[in-house]
Amino acid sequence: MKKTIKDVNLKNKRVIVRVDFNVPLDANLNITDDTRIRETLPTINYLKRESAKIILMSHLGRPKSKPEEKYSMKPCAKRLSELLKQEVKMAPGCIDPETKKLAMNLQSGEILLLENLRFNEGEEKNDPNFANELASMAEVFVQDAFGTVHRAHASTAGIAKYLPSCAGFLLEKEIVYFSKALENPEKSYVAILGGAKVSDKIMVIENLLNKVDALIIGGAMAYTFLKAKGISIGNSLVEQEKVDIAAKILKKADDKNINLFVPIDHIITTKIDGSAESKETAGVEIPDGWIGVDIGKMTIERISSVILSAKTIVWNGPMGVFEVDKFANGTLQIAKLIAQATAKGAISIVGGGDSVAAVKKMGLSDKMSHISTGGGASLELLEGKILPGIAVLPEK
């Protein structure tokens, strides 16, 4: 296990913390979902209790290595101030003299938020000079941004070369839950994968086929698997160049005696639009001119007992075009089933933006064991990859 903030002396020290404040904003730059900010509160409050002088750093959006007001961290400083009921000082930059002066003058328990890291080209290039400049403001580095640990950037991997480093509570929680799913999962172990592309999940499927008892595939990627089985999929989305790979995965699952479930009926439509004609199929075939947009009732019924009897569940990706209410039922029913299994003692891990959105929409967030804060990072962990932002942290 990696060293955490409980393993390091932080009393009265200047501590620089990588957080993930990459939050959604509306047209008026108001935060529409502050989950990522709230998730860092346990770490920040612990540092306050330790009388640390706290420097927070994050990116927001995709600025082109120069300041853009719409990507400023200011809304995050404002929201964090409200949540903590104390002023969070907003730095004018990241490594400029004025920012460094603010960092050096911090008193115990005070908080400074640096401006968007990606306003500096050194961040995404993992420039050692930029990492060293960030490190020069502090005595300890805390990594608490799970959503960015799959990227070798200056603030995630580079900075750890210059400071004593450890994990914050959020990162620790993510590592603990994914370790349970990947190293010694309780059986039966069920993975539910959805989303648009097989190509996004090939490595995940390959890795999980060595661990799971059952694999449930939904979303548009399911049509590539159905095509590989020689089933008519009408005008549904298909990755033609991945049909052979899907066929190999189906054979591998069969050889390993792993139950791999694909839809046996569908909600179909003439075009992906809530006002378009739609209906449920009577079986697995999709007629020409129709597009599959969700799993049907028979599919839900077929996989419900598999989910409800599971002891470990990993879910990443929706079962259909979740953004359109009319085509969201399959995804929402999966969320309900996982919540029921969790209530019966299963460990459930939900990752990926749409899956998390579905759980929130159903008001089931607190019914899951763990909702991951990092889509890309969670996928790469499930692929069995070593993540650079975790690899640089010392072991206990």
Give the residue numbers marked as catalytic: 36, 197, 353, 376
Mean pLDDT of 208-237: 95
SS3 220: coil
Q: Which amino acid is at 336?
A: K
What's the pLDDT tens digit per position in 336-346?
999 999 999 99
For a pLDDT cut of 70, what percent of the chain falls above it? 100
CA dist 290 and 44 (Å) reads 51
The alpha carbon dihedral of 256, 199, 359, 172 has a sign of positive
Q: What is the mean pLDDT of residues 315-341?
A: 93
**Interval 122-133 mean pLDDT:** 97
Q: Hunting for tokens 């650079």 — which residue is that? A: 388
Contact predicate 244/250, CB 8 Å: no
pLDDT at 157: 97
Strands of the 140-143 sheet, one edge to the other:
88-90, 111-113, 53-57, 14-18, 140-143, 165-167
**Of the candidates 390, 383, 388, 381, the residue with the CA atom closest to the CA atom of residue 177:** 381
**pTM for the whole thing?**
0.90
pLDDT confidence bin for 111, thresholds 50/70/90: very high
pLDDT confidence of residue 129? 98
Each residue's pLDDT tens digit, 375-392: 889 989 888 889 999 999
> What pLDDT score does 360 carry?
86
For residue 322, is pLDDT > 80? yes
Q: 73 versus 354: which is more confidently predicted? A: 73
pLDDT mean over 153-173: 97
The answer, yes or no, to whether residue 184 has pLDDT greater than 90, is no
User: Is pLDDT of 199 > 90?
Assistant: no
Q: What is the mean pLDDT of residues 95-103?
A: 98
User: CA-CA distances (angstroms) from residue 98 to 50, 128, 194?
Assistant: 26, 21, 47
Number of neighbouring beta carbons within 10 Å of residue 363: 10
Token pair recorded at residue 328: 């969201």
At residue 112, the pLDDT reads 98
Residue 164 has pLDDT above 90, yes or no: yes
Whether the predicted pLDDT of 36 surpasses 80:
yes
E strands, 218-308, are 259-261, 266-269, 278-280, 291-295
Does residue 230 come out as left (phi exceeding 0), alpha (psi in the -120 to 50 range) or beta?
Answer: left
- The pLDDT confidence band at residue 323, using thresholds 50, 70 and 90, is confident
- Domains annotated for the chain, with CATH where assigned, are 5-170 (3.40.50.1260), 177-382 (3.40.50.1260)
Beta strand segments in the chain, E: 14-18, 53-57, 88-90, 111-113, 140-143, 165-167, 189-193, 214-217, 259-261, 266-269, 278-280, 291-295, 312-316, 347-351, 370-371
pLDDT score for 243: 94
In contact, 91 and 112? CB cutoff 8 Å? yes
Q: Tell me what percent of the residues of the chain surpass a pLDDT of 90.
A: 85
Vertex 378 angle, CA 46 and 382, to 5°: 130
Q: What pLDDT is recorded for position 362?
A: 83
CA distance 347 to 315: 11
Top-confidence range, 107-111, 173-177, 196-200, 349-353? 107-111
Do the beta carbons of residue 350 and residue 371 sit within 8 Å?
A: yes
Residue 167 is predicted with a pLDDT of: 98
Instruction: Return the structure tokens found at 329.
Output: 């039922």
* pLDDT score, position 195: 86
**Helix axis angle, 243-255 to 221-228, nearest 10°:** 80
Q: What is the pLDDT of residue 198?
A: 83
